[in-house]
Every structure is written in C-alpha cells, then in structure tokens.
Amino acid sequence: MALLEVRNLSKTFAGSPGVIDVNLSIQSGEIHALIGANGAGKSTLMKLLSGAYQGDQGEIYLNGQRVVIENPVHGKELGIHCVYQEVDTALVPSLTVGENLFLDCLPLIINWKTLFREAEEVLQKLNFPLDPKRKIDSLTLVEKQMVLLAKAFMQNAKIMIFDEPTAPLSGPETKILLQQICNLKEKGVGIIFISHRLQEVFALCDTLSVLRNGQLVLNRSVSATSPEVVVEAMFGEKRADGFVKKTASVGDPLLQANHLSDGGRVKDVTFQLRKGEILGIAGLVGAGKTELARLLFAASPRQQGDILWEGNPMYFSSPKQAIEAGFALVPEERRGEGLFVNESIRANLTLPILKTIAPWGWIRRQKEREHGQKIVDALSIKASHLEFPVERLSGGNQQKVVIGKWVGSDTKVLLLDEPTKGIDVQAKKELFYLLEELVAQGISIVYFTSEMDELAAISDTIYILYKGHITKKLGKEEMDPQTILYYASGGTNQDETDSA
C-alpha cells in the first residue's frame, strides 16, 4: 500500500491553472522528484499536501486512509512535514540545536542534561555531524537545514517535502544535504524533492513526476528516463542544446576597484571591470559575494579602498546615488530587497525606467506596457497579464521580474547576485542570451555566484573570492567548473605549492 496517494487533486486560481487533476503515489523510503518549469504548479501541490491550501477537488490518502488536511499544523500531526527555503523563520537563532529540536515540548523536559543527551541520540541515529550545544546563529545554512530535518524526524515525519532546498547551496553543501536526505530515506520516510537541478535529481531520486501547466505529464522511475526526456516533458517540445556564448569583444577598462573592505566579510578586494565585459565572481556560500555586491552598490558602507570610473574616483554613499551613477543590483534576497510584492508586474518592471517613459512627469501608459511586455516575453515570465500582482507569481517568475527590472534602464554596470537561484533551465538560457544582448549594448556585468558551470559558460574573466579575499584571476582558457570550484574551495595555485 502506498504511504501517500493523491487522487484527482485540483486547485485553480483566478487566471492560472495551479494544479489540475493530479494523481500520484509515494512509498515509504522513496525519494520522489517533482519537476517542472517556473509556474508549473510544484509549490502549489506541496501546499495542498501540507494543508496550507485546500483543493477544489480530489482526495489525499495516507496509508490507505482518506485524510482531509485542514492546515499545516494538522498536516504535521498526520506526519507530513515541509521544509521551506526560509529556514531561519522556522528556528530560534539564539537557542541551541538541542533546544530547537525540543522546542515544541520544552516544558516537559526541564533537565538540560537529558535534553542534550536525547538530542545527541537523534542526531547520531541520523548520522548528522552536529553538536547539539551549538547556537543556531553560528550554523551554516546547510546545518540549519539539518536541524529542521532532525526535528521533523523526531516528530515522526512520514512524508517530507522539500521545496528547492538546494537552490541556495553551493556544490559541496548540496552533497552534504543530499546525504542527509538519503539518511532519512533509510529510516523509511517518504520524500518529495522539488528542484530545478536535474543532475541532482538523477543522482538522488528513485522516481520523478513532471508537471506542466498544472498537469502531470510524466511519472516514472528515474532509471527509466533521461534528462532529455524530462526537459521535453517540462516544456512540451524538444529543446535545442544549452547556451553557447558568442565570442565577445570586450572594451576598455571602465571600473577599477582598489583594496575594498567593508570592515566585515570583504577584505582588500581589487579588480578591474571592462566595458561590455561579463565578470564572474566565484565563491561558495559565505565567501562574501553578497557583501561585496552590496558594497559596490553602496548598500553597505565602504570602510577602505576606492573605486575609479574611467580613471576618476567615484564618490557615492547610498544605493540611490549608485543608481544615478549607473549601477543596478539584482539582490539575492529578492523578496525583501528586489521587489514591491504588492505591486503588479508592470509597476515593478517599469519603476527603474520611469525617467524615460515619464519625461515630463506623467507616465506614458502605452510605452510602459510595451516595455513591460517586451521583458515578460524575453524572460518568459509566466502570468496571465501584466497587472498580475508579483506576490502571486511562482518563486522563479518573481526572480525573473527582479532581473527584468533593470533591463532598459540607464544601467551601465549590472550587479547580479546569484541570479539563477530558482529559475528553470530554459529561463536560465534565456537569461544568458539576454545578458549577452546587454553586454553587446556596452553594459558591463558583474555576476556573483557559486554555480561554477554558469560562470564557465558566461564569463569573460573570473575572480575567485575566498573568505572575503580575491585569491585568483582566471582567464578564458582556465575556465572549467572543476578548476573554478578548486580555487573557490580554498585551493592554492598549483605552481606556487610545487615550488614551495
């Protein structure tokens, strides 16, 4: 008997299919991938299973028993746990790992010794290398995810659903998380794993389902399919191969950053950016990429160093001045910093170009709509109309709006911080072609990421950021993902070690 079975489940929204007539079953100890383009309905299905949404139609069965999941608390009681991307909101940062594990039953356990011993036992059972006495705020992201996994396990999770858990992780951390998910599988937990990274899906999962426009279009064991078949199912047609970069003609030096420090993570960073160049900054999670991007955008104070623009010192001390100087930042934290979530797609996309479309103070609606539509098309933003509120877009489509905002503005230097987090493979390719178009117009791009294969595909030059320092510069001929990862993980110059 299936652990979880979904029959004819549907949930529609005004102007969007959501999830349509989905049938699915999952066994104990099975890792089931849920795949689909941005807006295909993955998160909606997860919310239906967690009790966050109620279906319009259909039934859910647990061990053969029909259940009506009233809300997420009820869902948890039934054994269905979700791990959302915002792990921080699910943990208390000032408390220890052990305390967080027992948070929901703290009044019952007053003996600290017992608490830490029991926490230790759970972590050992799962093979999680974590000290229960450590404070949550000292943990890395993947360690926090582990705490949530252990907590769900302790609360008798039968089904665990992960919505893009690896999106914010770099390669080495992803490996750790996938290993922990395998440990849960061994304990008989049924797992639903949502991801845009097909490689890890094929490495980790037993079975997979592909959603397209809310409908289930493929449901198979992983060994009986291939990435090509999956991609075809996702988009409904055969897709040409990946992105191929044109040979770029990079211009003269534009910006010189000298010995930049922010008094925190960023330490003595020096680099040069040329006109029409795509400069990659490679670094693992915690290397200081976001901090460096924010420093360049004057979103955090510069403690030391200077920035020269065509040889002349630049002084600006706020993002507003940075924007006036021609900088734009696509931040990693899109919801907080990059979007007006209550506003429409149109409003978000046209805000930065208001000067152009409203030269005399009134907005030319026609221009505004044309501009908005152009970007929606270029990045395949999936929404029924331009007035759709950004809040209700799927995660990946929100990310596309953040990027699209700065296209067509007076931007001269575009800073992109992990821009492909959460966007599907096709959208990624479209983004790369868009970036290529932008550099052809003379815009310079600084691309911060831990996705080494993306950097290898798109960059003209790569600088490695390791613990806040630039430790290496790579030219075109040295740019393969392994080499980049080697240096980004703290590897040193082979020649230097040889001669030392």
Ligand X SMILES: Nc1ncnc2c1ncn2[C@@H]1O[C@H](COP(=O)(O)OP(=O)(O)OP(=O)(O)O)[C@@H](O)[C@H]1O
- Candidate segments 202-210, 258-266, 353-361, 388-396, binder of ligand X by CB under 6 A: 388-396
Among 392, 412, 489, 491, binds ligand X (CB under 6 A): 392
- Candidate segments 3-11, 295-303, 334-342, 389-397, binder of Mg ion by CB under 5 A: 389-397
> Which of the choices ligand X, Mg ion, none does residue 132 contact, using the CB cut-off of 5 to 8 A by kind?
none
- Closer CB to ligand X, residue 181 or residue 393? 393
Contact flag: residue 395 with Mg ion (CB under 5 A)? yes
> Which of the choices Mg ion, ligand X, none does residue 13 contact, using the CB cut-off of 5 to 8 A by kind?
ligand X
- Give the closest residue to 347 by CA, choosing from 318, 375, 326: 375
Q: Provide the sign of the torsion angle of the four alpha carbons 330, 300, 293, 289, taken in this order.
A: negative
Q: Where are the alpha helices (DSSP H) in 57-103?
A: 72-78, 97-101
CB of 192 to Mg ion, least distance (A): 13
Strands (E), 93-245: 159-163, 190-194, 207-212, 215-221
Question: How many of the other CB atoms lie within 10 Å of CB of 440?
Answer: 12
Question: How many of the other CB atoms lie within 10 Å of CB of 296?
Answer: 24
CB of 160 to ligand X, least distance (A): 17
> Which of the choices Mg ion, ligand X, none does residue 393 contact, using the CB cut-off of 5 to 8 A by kind?
ligand X
- Closer CB to ligand X, residue 18 or residue 468? 18
Site string for Mg ion, 13-52 (x = CB under 5 A): ------------------------------x---------
Residue 14 structure tokens:
């005004």
- Give the closest residue to 419 by CA, choosing from 393, 441, 398: 398
Question: How many of the other CB atoms lie within 10 Å of CB of 135?
Answer: 14
Number of residues that bind ligand X (CB under 6 A): 18
- Give the closest residue to 292 by CA, choosing from 261, 271, 316, 323: 261
- Candidate segments 169-177, 227-235, 394-402, 443-451, binder of ligand X by CB under 6 A: 394-402
Residue numbers 41-100 binding ligand X by CB under 6 A: 41-44
Closest-by-Cβ residue to Mg ion is 43
- Closer CB to ligand X, residue 154 or residue 383? 383
Residue numbers 95-154 binding ligand X by CB under 6 A: none
Site string for ligand X, 9-48 (x = CB under 6 A): ----x--x-x-----------------x-xxxxxxx----
Amino acid occupying residue 328: A
Closest-by-Cβ residue to ligand X is 396
CB of 390 to Mg ion, least distance (A): 14
What residues form DSSP beta bridges with 60? 6, 67
Residue with tokens 């052990």: 98
| d(C-alpha 33, C-alpha 195), whole Å | 7
| d(C-alpha 285, C-alpha 305), whole Å | 24
- Closer CB to Mg ion, residue 326 or residue 395? 395
Residue numbers 356-385 binding ligand X by CB under 6 A: 382
Among 85, 100, 209, 394, binds ligand X (CB under 6 A): 394
Amino acid occupying residue 435: L
Residue with tokens 């001390």: 317
- Closer CB to Mg ion, residue 41 or residue 276? 41
Residue 387 to residues 206, 280, 402, Cα–Cα distance (Å)? 40, 34, 16
| d(C-alpha 342, C-alpha 394), whole Å | 14
Q: Dihedrals φ, ψ of 236, to 5°?
A: 80, 10
| d(C-alpha 391, C-alpha 493), whole Å | 46
Contact flag: residue 396 with ligand X (CB under 6 A)? yes
* Binding positions for Mg ion, rule: CB under 5 A: 43, 394-395
Residues that bind ligand X (CB under 6 A): 13, 16, 18, 36, 38-44, 382, 392-397
